Structure 1
Amino acid sequence: MAAHRCNFPALVFILCCLSVFIVADVQETTPVSEPDGTAVNNPQTVLTSDPQTAADTGEETPEEPLVEEKRWEATEVEAATPDDAPSDSQAASDPETVVSPPVPQSKDDFQEELVIRPLHSDDIYASFQFRTLWDTDFMGGNKVSHYRLFPKSLGQVISKFSVRELHISFTQGYWRTMQWGQPFLPSPPGTDHRFLRYATLPREIVCTENLTPWKKLLPCGSKAGLAVLMKSEKLFHSSFHSQALHIRPVCQDWQCKDTSWELRQTLNVVFDLHTSGQGKREWSLFKMFSRTLTEACPLASSSKIYIDVTDNPQGEQFELSPATPLLSQAVVLGDRRTYSVYDLTQQATFGSTRSLNMLLRWKSNDENSDMLRPLLHSERYVAGYGLQTGEIHTLMYNHHPYRAFPVLLLDTVPWYLRLYIHTLTVTSKGKDNKPSYIHYQPSKDRVRPHLLEMLVQLPPNSVTEVTVQFERALLKWTEYTPDPNHGFYVGSSVISALVPSVVAMNINDTQERPLFSSFFPCKEESSYFVRVYTEPLLVNLPTPDFSMPYNVICLTCTVVAVGYGSLYNLLTRTFQVEEPSPGLAKRIANIIRKMRGVPLL
């Protein structure tokens, strides 16, 4: 009986320890959700291979892993099973071991990734993304004094001014949608500050002074990880360059009881094959960034490189080396894409050289290969002649063959272009297309711009044109830029829409699949949200002849310098008569006469 009394407390103690481990494991694998409640770790199928398997069995691991060794696993399984977490079976098999509760770790997290997509124009698109999660709540009045991964400079600003969201982007160049497709993160040319609405500086110069403080916000800076590739001489010598910073609260679970602060730093670059100075149709990390990768950021929980190989299923378009056995599939912008994945946290990724320099070499010489056109595309230009009146034309293309969808057009026009809103026309396929919603806020001179917002239905396979007339205002001579003949820039229009997914689109439903399959709904997303920016406008305004003021200033300065300068010189100058200095012989004689006490000569 005494033995049973002694074993019962020990059994209770072991069960309590096991429950602590189970609860801790569940808390660590809770996915971080978006504000709408969807989890970030979407269930995607990933083709992986364990690089440690060959080392454990004693086999030699080749420098380039073979593609035949691939196997499919779920993404959540890899993230939900930490390497250092003890299993329940091990804890239960050793009853004599006293297991202490795990030390609570910080929930701050940092992830980095690079997505490389070869374009059909032989150019290449590189997209960096750095994500920092900060588990804190300073909106409730709590004072934050500890910063581990989140930059302190941004945290202090958010805490002091109670910022809920912050979005800033710097963009140089124009994204060519018809040649490059849709970008992962669209942004207008110039500087973009969004607060409820948005405002732009369409001709803001982007330089290294913008990139250097942006890199300092990263936990590892530019010393380790993917940020090592960010060499300003290469990034700014490109066809398109856009860097952005996004801060927002995100949910920690699907119920959104607790929130964390998310900082996303993105950098998108398009390298042109012709301007890069290389004749061969091949790209590598060294040719793009003049650097290679040697290690991941030590503070990053995930560091990966994704290469888009959707259009290269059998390797007939280009060759990728070194090969990787890790593949991933995802639905991006309504299209199913396949990526080759390089995990920088695995030492086997760098091979024996301890350096990673991926190479893409094109095999096919067909530069005009077929490319899936984006379903939504937009253009804008200024029409008319003279310097009094003109027209702004905005073209919105719907390339979907049989589906129509609405778009929200937001246009901000400076006050010196006085819009005639009664001339607003919307046409589609030669017919009037009446918007279902129009909001117009007139401008005030030198106070606020015009604000035009409308909801337009785009018919399938059509071009919708929005036209409005304007009159050019005559500015004061002090309001002109240093180079008025260059013109004045007008910010981009913003087009937001829910575009039908390409995955769910099938034109020949009755010919390519059985009839009974139409009863089953599509599992993929039926539509996705996209925001499109048009190119900025360059408008000339009535400009006075600035040569006459220049001549008047030059003449006035000449008169002041010659007339007043000469008179002032005569009034302030003093005249003195100076005797000529005696000769050397006379000075010597005076010295001798002074010594003898004789009067000087």
Structure 2
Amino acid sequence: MALRRCCSIVSLFGLIALTIFVVALSQASTVKNESVKKTTKQMSKVGKGTPNVKKQHSDPVAVVPPKTPKDDFQEELAIRPLHSGDIYASFQFRTLWETDFFGGNKVSHYRLFPKSLGQVISKFSVRELHISFTQGYWRTMQWGQPYHSSPPGAEIWVWFQDSVEDVDGTWKELTNVLSGLFCASLNYIDSINSIQPSASFKPLGINNETDHRFLRYAALPRESFCTENLTPWKKLLPCGSKAGLAVLLKSEKLFHSSFHSQAVHIRPVCQGKDEHCTSTSVELRQTLNVVFDYITSGQGKREWSLFKMFSRTLTEACPLASSSKIYVDVSDSAEGEYFVLSPPTPLLTQAVVLGDRRNFSVYDLTQRSTFGATSSLNLLIRWTSSEAHMLRPLLHAERYVAGSGLHTGEIHTLLYNNHPYRAFPVLLLDSVPWYFRLYIHTLNVTSKGKNNSPSYIHYEPSKDRVKPHMLEMLVQLPPNSITEVSVQFERALLKWTEYPPDPNHGFYVGSSVISSLVPSIVAMDTNATHKSPLFNTFFPSKEEFSYFVRLYTEPLLINLPTPDFSMPYNVICLTSTVLAVGYGSLFNLLTRNFQIDEPRPGLAKRIANVIRKIRGVPPL
């Protein structure tokens, strides 16, 4: 009975609480509906009574969404048939975002711009970032000037913002992050192999006053380039490798070539046609350059197509790209006297590239008519003659090591000015490791057998195991001349723990960097750069009749005095043998117990002893 009464009381209290909750909920909904109706009536009265005032939105709680920054993506492929019968293909992917990474604003929404790079720029206050990975050496005298130069191995140079206090610490953290982002050995970059150039590597973005204290440059000439570096690079593209020109980036074909180089360039640019540059945008350029050799590829004949080069054809453009084009340089065979291009295209354009006016056949991938009836585009270049001649580049550089023995040596850099009547200055930058001790007083610059005194020299000596040598100089190159720069050095003897696993292979010295404004054959129109192809708009023109060129020489491979690392092995073996024989014998003599063991009698003697024992006779 008591249990029944308790259950009844609990049920009654639950019913009363449920009734109170339902009544309160109905009153709240009635009040809310009345307030909404009242607000709507007031807004309608305001709209009717004041005809000059715009009507507001009927929803009283509507919020205006924030303005989304505009972004734009363009892709292009430039193909240049070389006079040697090889093919030079240059991919460029450009992402332009109208946002201010450089003003300290935090960006949380990403659409086309890769978020991984955006977070790096914001966190480390990066103003400009340039990084490249290259396998092979660009043969300037055979292939001409590339659209973008890069040294063998890995190269990185960064401009930090003025707000960065600890530049060295930020530089170290940035290289560690980029090492994981691109699967490279950039985490080995430290003060030993990084420098602060004072005149080279000026910003490529907005030309503001800069302080070279916020610039860091480093190169790893021994860094290799493989699929592990290409895969994260392709993931930065808006379409990845699923659509557009990126479907041609097949690693099996790219790495089976004479030269391949990938790069990432980030810089600030002015928005639109703003002359005063009151608002900035961030520009990301991803470039990939590759040279296919018809001998190395095993074709045996000078005939190229997209399928032979990349094992794939094009079927569509990237849906997120506003522009997707292929440019084929037909300047050297305008009438088809050297090679034939098919399928033909009626779209032709002219552009001033590296000081020369070039003609290009254009294929617009955003137009379905480009793919034809097969819905596939496979460009074919068939050589008809091998008598084409290439004009020598106006600026060329080489470098080599002279001397004998493993104590001293001499570094020679040759600068070629092939212009028949124009002289122009070049800025030479050399970074030499500390274990090659330069004798800067032996620096000698000669042109046409005469001394050529540099107008500017900036030298920072090295510190053992701290930082390398840095030498910058501005040299005037006479017309049609060869200028030789030589300096002597001494090889240091390292500690045995500082030698790499293959010390007899030698030690690498990074490429020399040559920057110059080379006289142009034709005048450049700097006001129409937005209409030019991407491969022609990266380096700005400083003068009307000159264009900017940056060249890299060969990296040097120099031997150091190396001890015979087999001697410790021999000493260890000899010592172990002596210890085993000498100490082992002595130890046995000191610890072993010697006992006389009588020989065991034979079978006949044992039988005789048994018989003698039975007879009671003493044993034998």
Alignment TM-score, normalising by the size of structure 1: 0.72
Matches of 1:356 and 1:453 in 2, distance apart? Answer: 48
After TM superposition, give the deviation of residue 255 of structure 1 in Å: 2.1
1:168 counterpart = 2:131: yes
Q: Structure 1 residues 556, 375: closer, same or farther in 2, change over 3 A? A: same
Correspondence for 2:389 = 370
Partner residue in 2 for 1:498: 517
Task: Determine helix, strand or coil for the equivalent of 2:234.
Answer: helix
Q: What is the Cα deviation at residue 199 of structure 1?
A: 1.4
Quick one: which of 176, 192, 202 aligns to 2:221?
A: 202
Once the two structures are TM-superposed, the CA of residue 552 in structure 1 deviates from its matched residue by 3.4
**Residue matched to 1:148:** 111
Matched residue type, 2:548: F
In structure 1, the residue matched to 2:70 is 107
Structure 2: how far apart are the matches of 1:562 and 1:109?
79
Partner amino acid, structure 2, of 1:108 = D
Q: Is 1:529 matched up with 2:584? A: no
Contact 1:188 1:534 in 2 (8 A): yes
- Per-residue CA distance 1:224-257 (angstroms, 9 max, x = gap): 0111000111111111111000111110122211
2:263 to 232, 240, 244: 244
Task: Tell me the distance in 1 between the aligned counterparts of 2:104 and 2:510.
Answer: 38
Give the residue type in structure 2 aligned to 1:155. G
SS at match of 1:485: helix
Partner SS state of residue 331, structure 2: coil
Question: Aligned letter for 1:321?
Answer: S
* 1:333 maps to amino acid: L
- Distance in 2 (CA, whole Å) between partners of 1:243 and 1:264 is 11
State the 4+ residue runs in structure 1 displaced beyond 4 angstroms. Answer: 9-13, 103-106, 553-565
**99, 105, 118: which one aligns with 2:81:** 118
Name the CA shift for 1:561/1:176 in 2 (closer, same or farther; >3 Å). Answer: farther
Structure 1 contact 334–525 (Cα < 8 Å) conserved: no
- Distance in 2, Cα, partners of 1:497 & 1:204: 27
Instruction: Return 5+ residue gaps in structure 2 as ranges.
Output: 1-49, 55-65, 159-214, 525-542, 585-620
Q: Give the conservation status (yes or no) of the 8 Å contact 2:69–2:99.
A: no
Q: What's the CA shift for 1:138?
A: 3.7
For 1:311, what is the secondary structure of its paired residue? Answer: helix
Letter in 1 for 2:108: S
CA offset digits 1:359-413 (Å, max 9, x no partner): 00011133xx311111000000000000011100000000000010011111011
- Whole-Å Cα distance in 1 between the matches of residues 67 and 436 of structure 2? 60
Whether 2:290 is the aligned partner of 1:269: answer: yes
User: Within 1, Cα distance between the matches of 2:522 and 2:468?
Assistant: 40
Q: In the alignment, is residue 543 of structure 1 matched against residue 591 of structure 2?
A: no
**Pairwise CA distance, 1:133:** 1.1
Q: Name the counterpart of 2:340.
A: 319
User: Which aligned pairs between 1:341-352 and structure 2 lie closer than 5 A?
Assistant: 341-352=362-373
Which residue of structure 1 lines up, in the alignment, with residue 497 of structure 2? 478
1:83-114 CA deviation, whole Å, 9 max, x = no partner? xxxxxxxxxxxxxxxxxxxx977520000000
Number of residue equivalences: 453
Q: 1:321 to 1:557 in 2, by over 3 A?
A: farther
Which of 146, 156, 171 aligns to 1:193? It is 156
Report the Cα offset of residue 555 of structure 1.
5.5
Partner of 1:578: none
2:245 aligned to 223, 226, 229, which one?
226
Q: Secondary structure at the match of 2:316?
A: coil
Partner of 2:432: 413
Alpha-carbon distance in structure 1 between the residues aligned to 2:93 and 2:361:
19
Partner of 2:193 in structure 1?
none
Structure 2: how far apart are the matches of 1:143 and 1:364?
58
Distance 2:51 2:362 in 1: 48
1:564 shift after superposition: 12
Assess if the C-alpha contact under 8 Å between 1:497 and 1:529 holds in 2.
yes
- In the alignment, the residues of structure 1 paired with residue 67 and residue 319 of structure 2 have an alpha-carbon distance, to the nearest angstrom, of 20
Give CA-to-partner distance per residue, 1:506-532, whole Å, 9 cap, x none. Answer: xxxxxxxxxxxxxxxxxx930011111
Structure 1 residue 562: deviation in Å? 11
Q: 1:289 to 1:11 in 2, by over 3 A?
A: farther
Shift of 1:189: 0.7
- Name the amino acid aligned to 1:390: G
Cα separation, 2, equivalents of 1:423 and 1:537: 19
TM-score (norm 2): 0.70
CA-based RMSD: 2.7
Deviation at 1:134, TM superposition (A): 1.7
Q: Is the 8 A contact 2:102 2:127 kept in 1?
A: no
Conserved 8 A contact 2:101-2:282: no
Match of 1:577 in 2: none
Is 1:453 aligned with 2:472? yes
Which whole-Å CA distance do the structure 1 matches of 2:434 and 2:325 have between them?
A: 47
CA contact (8 A) 1:413 1:490 kept: yes
Shift of the 307–561 alpha-carbon distance from structure 1 to 2, 3 Å rule, reads farther
Q: Which secondary structure state, in structure 1, belongs to the residue aligned with residue 332 of structure 2?
A: coil
Q: Unpaired runs of 5+ in structure 1?
A: 1-8, 14-102, 506-523, 566-601
State the alpha-carbon separation in 2 of the partners of residues 531 and 205 from structure 1: 22
1:112-149 per-residue CA deviation (whole Å, 9 max, x = no partner) reads 00000000000010000000112222443432110000
Structure 1 residue 218 displacement after superposition: 0.3
Counterpart CA distance in 2 for 1:398 and 1:293 is 41
Q: Is the 8 A contact 1:412 1:493 kept in 2?
A: yes
- Write the letter of the residue equivalent to 1:343: D
Q: Distance in 2 between matches of 1:323 and 1:487?
A: 51
Q: Given the alignment, which residue of 327, 332, 336 partners 1:306?
A: 327
Determine which of 121, 137, 145 is the counterpart of 1:182: 145
Letter in 1 for 2:121: I
AA in 1 matched with 2:318: C
Q: How far 1:550 sits from its partner (Å)?
A: 2.3
Shift of 1:193: 1.1
The change in CA–CA distance for 1:104 and 1:451 in structure 2 (over 3 A counts) is closer
Tell me which residue corresponds to 2:350: 329
Q: Which has the larger radius of gyration?
A: 2
CA contact (8 A) 1:474 1:541 kept: yes
**Matched residue, 2:399:** 380
